[in-house]
Chains A and B, each alone.
Chain A
Amino acid sequence: MIDRDQVVHVARLARLELGEDEVGALADELSSILDHVDRLLAVDTEGVEPTTHVVPLENVLRDDVPGEELTPEQALASAPSTEDGAFLVPSPKTEG
């Protein structure tokens, strides 16, 4: 069961602005989904290793040499706001 306060808390962790109506709907929907998901908790998983990767792979390494990469201009071309070859963002300071 997830209440509105928890929804607001998790939304803050996820950096998501939610409307009042969304908070209420998500509290109901997430609670309902977790009711189904909670079936997992009844499974005997004693001594079972969690899956980390489904296909057996050794560490994959490569030589540390530069490849063909984007130019700074290409990397900045899609940005909403740039200045002097950098991404421009609002000040982090005004956050209370």
Chain B
Amino acid sequence: MAGEPLGGLSACATGEAIGSGELDGAECLAFWAERAGDETLNAYLCTDQGDAGQRIAGAPVAVKDIFCTEGLPTTAGSRILEGYVPPFDATAVNRLRATGLPILGKTNMDEFAMGSSNENSAYGPVLNPWDRTRVPGGSSGGSAAAVAAGAAPWALGTDTGGSIRQPAALCGIVGLKPTYGAVSRFGMIAFASSLDQCGTFGHSVADAAELLSVVEGLDPRDSTSTGIPGGLSRPTASDLEGITIGVPRDFLEVGVEQGVADRFAEALETVERLGGTIRNIELPHAELGISAYYVIAPAEASTNLSRYDGVRYGLRVPADSLVEMYERTRGEGFGPEVKRRIMLGTYALSSGYYDQYYGTAQKVRTLIVRDFEAAFSEVDLIATPTTPGVAFGLGAKTSDPWSMYLNDLFTVPMSLAGIPAISIPAGLAEPPEGGPELPVGLQLAAPAFAEQALIESAHALEAAIGFDQRPEGGGNS
């Protein structure tokens, strides 16, 4: 990548260069299309050359395969949608096109966004560009790996319990999940509707924020959409004077790898060096987040995924009766993790268990929301490591679902509370089993709709941390 002017340009700068006429939009798209086509991490499920004559106003965008794209296959990483070509664009995709940002391709993902390693894709796992024997994180692993490897300038993803922030951390890039409702969910294939949120990946906070500013906004087609009041402007902060950042020390007690803990401690020192104040806070119910999440998300998924019935689109496995056709189609079309979650959700919602599981989980969710409200009465932002550990090996956690779920321990509480959060690279650390150093993510979270404050502080910290490493060889071996 070094030495290549286009590949080294930020996505924001690319858009400016096209706007001023210094750079030709078609040439820029051709450059990135070649990069996307050459990538060998299995990050893309399909690439797109765009339409001749389309208006190109900025850097092209890699789009997670969970967003419906008119005329481009959309599978959500599932066999049950193999070959499906939607007749419409998701609102987020529509906004990209309307802004003149071409779609570079559709990125690989855990099936229906259920996973933290990309190993649940029906189309094979994505490899981590820092170490091809390791996972890129998930579920938006294809988007994260493509950006990290220089196979896309920036990307769209979705985050239900950490699916943007966790792969961003494991791939050494920036991942931004806005407030619930900031971006329309229309045409974004539903997993858990009360949690699903579109967000962005980039090499910098400015790039991730710029892409978010393109896709955010109220949409009449999604009655839960709000946009970000006041919108977003490019971050300019260079210090943290007057900013108080809360650290939930008790919550972080549980099993954080030493390398991650070291980078986190250094990041907090950097906060103070920039004039910010660190304050200990308590989030007493946050550690229950994973338990609540694994009732609420599967329950919502089990209802959302009932639409895959072999009738209107996607796979159909023929059978003599209607019910048999449903059962066989779904039995063959869904992978193991999706089946597990449909089963868990159906059980949790079934007669006699609804109050015990779903009702209780939603009450615990309220307690988590209150924890954040109390914390934000004292601090401006909250900081945690994004993940307890660095990228793990392919297959290392597939036999024990709960150990896989714990990857999202620090990201799930923010999703349950619907608040915005960002992961920025905090440096590299050696994995516990030894070997080459891997990226570590720092998570910052803010109150609902405080995206501007979040990206200002993240921008200042990013500059002070100065992480500029890229994976050797990247995705083009």
Neighbour of A40 across the interface among B295, B315, B323, CB < 8 A: B295
- In Å, the complex CA distance between A9 and B309 comes to 19
Chain A contact patch, size range: 35 or more
| B322 and A91 contacting across the interface, CB-CB below 8 Å | yes
Most chain B CB within 10 A, of A7, A41, A90, A93, is at A90
Which stretch, B17-25, B209-217, B361-369, B384-392, touches the partner chain A? B361-369
**A37 touching B85, Cβ below 8 Å:** no
Please give, as numbers and ranges, the residues of chain A lying within 8 Å of B84 by CB-CB distance: 78
B445 to chain A, nearest CB (A): 14
Contact A92 B321, beta carbon cutoff 8 Å = yes
Segment among B2-10, B252-260, B342-350 that sits at the interface with chain A = B342-350
Residues of B within 8 A of A90 (CB): 318-322, 324-325
Question: What is the CA–CA distance of A79 and B315 in the complex, to the nearest angstrom?
Answer: 9
**Other-chain residue from B285, B330, B369 in contact with A51 (beta carbon distance below 8 A):** B369
- The answer to whether the Cβ of B194 comes within 8 Å of any Cβ in the partner chain is yes
Q: Mark B86-120, 1 if CB is under 8 A from A, else 0.
A: 11100000000000000000000000000000000
Known pairs A32-B401, A79-B311; A7 contacts B343 (CB<8 A): yes
Give min CB distance, B366 to chain A, whole Å. 5
Name B's interface SS. Answer: helix
Could you tell me if B291 and A45 are in contact, using CB atoms closer than 8 angstroms? no
Which A1-31 residues have C-beta < 8 A from chain B?
2, 6-7, 10-11, 13-19, 22, 26, 29-30
Please indicate the chain A residues that have their CB under 8 angstroms from the CB of B322 in the complex: 89-92, 95
Contact segment of B35-43, B56-64, B164-172, B219-227: B219-227
CB <8 Å contact, B316 and A10: no
Which A residues, 31 to 55, have Cβ-Cβ distances below 8 Å to chain B? 32-34, 36-37, 39-41, 43, 45, 48-55
Q: Are A50 and B325 closer than 8 Å at their CB atoms?
A: no
Residue of B nearest to A77 (CB): B87
Q: How far is the CB of B454 from chain A (nearest CB, A)?
A: 16
Residues in B whose Cβ lies below 8 Å from that of A66: none
Contact of B363 among A30, A48, A77, A93 (CB under 8 A): A48
- Take A14-B342, A26-B340 as given contacts and tell me if A41 and B356 are in contact as well, using a CB distance cutoff of 8 Å: yes
State how many angstroms separate the Cβ of A31 from the closest Cβ of chain B.
Answer: 11
Q: Does B314 contact A (CB under 8 A)?
A: yes
CB pair A55 B448 closer than 8 Å: yes
- Can you name the residue of chain A whose Cβ is closest to the Cβ of B305? A14
**In the complex, per-residue mask of B69-89: 1 if CB is within 8 Å of any chain A CB, else 0:** 000000000000000111110
In the assembled complex, the CB of B226 is this many whole angstroms from the nearest CB of chain A, namely 6
Once the chains bind, are B331 and A16 in contact (CB under 8 Å)? yes
Please provide the chain A residues from 53 to 96 with a CB less than 8 Å away from any CB of chain B in the complex.
53-55, 57, 60, 62, 70, 74-75, 77-81, 87, 89-95
**Which A residue sits closest to B195, measured CB to CB?**
A54
Q: Which residues of B have CB within 8 Å of A74?
A: 87
B409 CB to closest chain A CB (Å) equals 12
Cβ contact within 8 Å between A17 and B330: yes
B179 within 8 A of A: yes
**Cα distance A32–B401 in the bound complex, in angstroms:** 9
Contact of A36 among B294, B310, B320 (CB under 8 A): B294
Asked if A55 and B323 sit within 8 Å, CB to CB, the answer is: no
Question: Are B302 and A14 in touch, CB under 8 angstroms?
Answer: yes
- Tell me which residues across on chain A come within 8 A of B223, comparing CB atoms: 57, 60
Q: Which residue in chain A gives the minimum CB-CB distance to B81?
A: A78
B288 adjacent to A43 (CB under 8 Å): yes
In whole angstroms, what is the CA distance A65 to B321 when docked? 38
Residues of chain B lying within 8 A (CB to CB) of residue A87: 311-312
* Given A40-B295, A62-B220: A53 touches B194 (CB 8 Å cut-off): yes
The residues in B between 162 and 185 inclusive whose CB is less than 8 angstroms from any CB of A are 179-181
Cβ contact within 8 Å between A30 and B87: no
Contact of B401 among A29, A53, A62, A91 (CB under 8 A): A29
Pairwise interchain contact B194-A43, C-beta atoms closer than 8 A = no
Which residues of B from 386 to 438 have beta carbons under 8 Å from A? 401-402, 416-418
Would you give 5 A-B contacts (Cβ < 8 Å), ordered by A? Answer: A16-B330, A43-B364, A48-B367, A78-B312, A94-B321
Known: A33-B340, A51-B363, A89-B322. 11 other contacts (CB 8 A): A19-B331, A29-B340, A32-B401, A33-B294, A33-B344, A39-B288, A48-B363, A53-B194, A54-B194, A81-B316, A89-B325
B-to-A contact residues, CB < 8 Å: 84-88, 179-181, 194, 220, 223-224, 226, 285, 288, 290-292, 294-295, 302, 306, 309-316, 318-328, 330-332, 334, 336, 339-340, 342-344, 346-347, 350, 356-357, 359-367, 369, 401-402, 416-418, 448
Q: What 5 A-B pairs are tightest by C-beta distance, nearest first?
A: A54-B418, A17-B331, A50-B362, A80-B316, A78-B313
